[in-house]
Structure 1
Amino acid sequence: MSAPFMIFRDPHEVTLLLDEIDLGTMRHALRSAKVERGFRLLTFDTVMDFSVVGFLAEVARILAEAGVSIVALSSFSRDHILVKQVDLARALKALGPHVEELC
């Protein structure tokens, strides 16, 4: 089993981002968990200084205009988004013309 991509804990819940194989392996321990499938991870693989302002807001704006819902995730120097598999082609098409300006 590989490690979860993300573990997020707040006062109300614990969120795990897992791939399908790991979910199958851990399912016995997650019997009462709410599971939502069908997401694809898009990573903006460019290192950004913490002082960069508005990058993810611009990505969200572009995708919102295309009717694509996202789950935004950030690490210290990279941003990621989750999109539903059914929206992947639309998301990539919307972001395509903006790749150079965004990255």
Structure 2
Amino acid sequence: MNLSRLATHHECVTIMFTDIVGFTAFSKECTPSQVMSLLNELFSKLDALLDKHNVYKVETAGDCYIICGGLLDEDEDGFQTVSTASPSHAAKIKAARRALNFAVEMMR
């Protein structure tokens, strides 16, 4: 077993944590079924945006939805494919732009 490929190094990623304002108060006023229904509907809509913006969903924890931009731009060897004069700067911009575009569409 080749253990050298268990993880990859990413020079630059953008991580976005989202949280529903007032969720705790809302959840106290609703039944557990209503809370789960809301979260399922919301997270299903957000999940549908992942591929469009080429971002990776890290996880959901309660009402927190965590995504990462800059993880999915890899070639077969696991290294970022960047075709500009300044790879680290370009990677930072691409990762941040993906997360920002995802966030903007989330708000619609």
TM-score, normalising length: structure 1? 0.47
User: Highest CA radius of gyration, 1 or 2?
Assistant: 2
